[in-house]
Amino acid sequence: MKVVLEHITKRFIDRNNKNKTELVAVSDMCLDIPDGKLIGLLGPSGCGKSTTLNMICGLEKPSSGKIFFGDDDVTDLPPENRGVGMVFQSYALYPHLTVRQNITFPLENLKGDKKLTKQEMNDRALGAAKLVQLDGYMERKPSELSGGQQQRVAIARALVKMPKVLLLDEPLSNLDARLRLQTREELRRIQKETGITTIFVTHDQEEAMSISDLIVVMKKAEVQQVGIPQDVYDDPKNLFVAQFLGTPPINVFAGEIREEKVYLGEDCILDAPGIEDKEVHVGIRPEGFIVDENGPLHCKIRVVEVMGRDTSIVSTHPVAETETIRSIIDSEDRPAATSGTVTFSLRKSKVLLFDMETEERIYPC
Ligand code: ATP
């Protein structure tokens, strides 16, 4: 099912403000979510991700704009008539019910021609449990399951009604690191197997990048960029997106263009043909550094961290905008010294320039 958001805005009354002013949680959002894809809605806390999801689900009504499922305008439909399945950060399972009963619960109250027999309900529950690989746990209570298994029950419960759209709000946040990794792969598998259009909200960029077909990066109620994760990483529209994606994050310097060359302090690191003289933010991805004794960039080593295959060189530079610079290089190429100066040449494709004021990317254009 294709989902289209057409100029969606959501305003709330800000009860924190004694004048009860309005707060814009989502501003003029336009989004085309293709059928059968997994979309990661990504951004820092408070940027409007959950509000967007709640509007798609029908729990919140947009202040303006329209929402379409396929050709149908669902803006005014209540959640139960939209055909959506929802999974929240807290699994919200009934503790006194078994896995089977938890999964069949949403089927119990179906009415009219949708009403199912006990047998049909059990078959549907078993089908959903198989999808999340919990068919061997049907008679257990939630307290007898791990956090990851409980979240999979919640996913099965959302799937049992065969939703047209599956919505997940920070579904992995309550899991420890290992389970999180496992469950996100599970989520991807389930989504591929069912082909259900899935929108999931996270503030964890790595999580979104690793399993999404498309990511939507939001900041302060506004969509910044939509695209295939690798494309957005390689081609960020602005400094915010560049900084939000990638671990370790992109290194940012206060640079200057002089006579079509990029300077970091006195280090001339790159040609920038066609760009006028001005100050710029220079972003260099951690993987863009090459240890090279004849390289143009001179940094002071703070620490060299060997991590097996890779080595992380933590260094400083007088015009870096952050306290330290993190470069990731192949361990075989690590510098002999662990203190003093390290010189780098740079991979051109990993260097990005941003306007000092607007923070829009200006190079590569
Ligand atoms: P988080 O990752 O912390 O959950 P989020 O990106 O999901 O954040 P939202 O929960 O959508 O952000 O909130 C967006 C903004 O709208 C925030 O400033 C929040 O305080 C505000 N907000 C959300 N719901 C309401 C509400 N019911 N009434 C008033 N303000 C609200």
Nearest atom in ligand 1 to the alpha carbon of residue 15 is: 29
The share of the chain scoring above pLDDT 90, in percent, equals 70
Which residues' Cβ are closer than 6 Å to ligand 1? 12, 23, 25, 43, 45-51, 203
Q: Give, using CA atoms, the residue closest to atom 1 of ligand 1.
A: 45
**Contact (CB, 8 A) for 200 and 40:** yes
Which atom belonging to ligand 1 lies closest to the Cα atom of 221? 14
Q: Coil, strand, or helix at residue 349? A: helix
Q: Which residue's C-alpha comes closest to atom 10 of ligand 1?
A: 50
CATH topology of domain 3-243: Rossmann fold (3.40.50)
CA distance 284 to 287: 8
> How far, in Å, is the centroid of ligand 1 from the Cα of 334?
45
Q: Are 254 and 80 in contact (CB under 8 A)?
A: no
Protein residue whose Cα sits closest to atom 5 of ligand 1: 46
What are the tens digits of pLDDT across the range 48-90?
Answer: 999 999 999 999 999 999 999 999 999 999 998 899 999 888 8
Beta partners for residue 222, in sequence order:
219
pLDDT surpassing 80 at residue 17:
no
Report CA(60)–ligand 1 centroid distance (Å): 12
Cα 356 to chain centroid, rounded? 26
Residue type for position 243: Q
Domain locations in the chain as residue ranges: 3-243, 248-363
Which residue's alpha carbon is at the smallest distance from atom 28 of ligand 1?
12
Q: Which two tokens stand for residue 360?
A: 């829009």
Give the mutation target among 26, 50, 57, 223 for probing the ligand 1 site: most ligand atoms within 8 A of CB: 50
The minimum-distance atom of ligand 1 relative to the CA of 60 is: 27
* pLDDT, tens digit (0-9, with 9 covering 90-100), for 184-242: 888 898 899 889 999 999 988 999 999 999 999 999 999 999 999 999 999 999 999 99
Residue 108, pLDDT score: 87
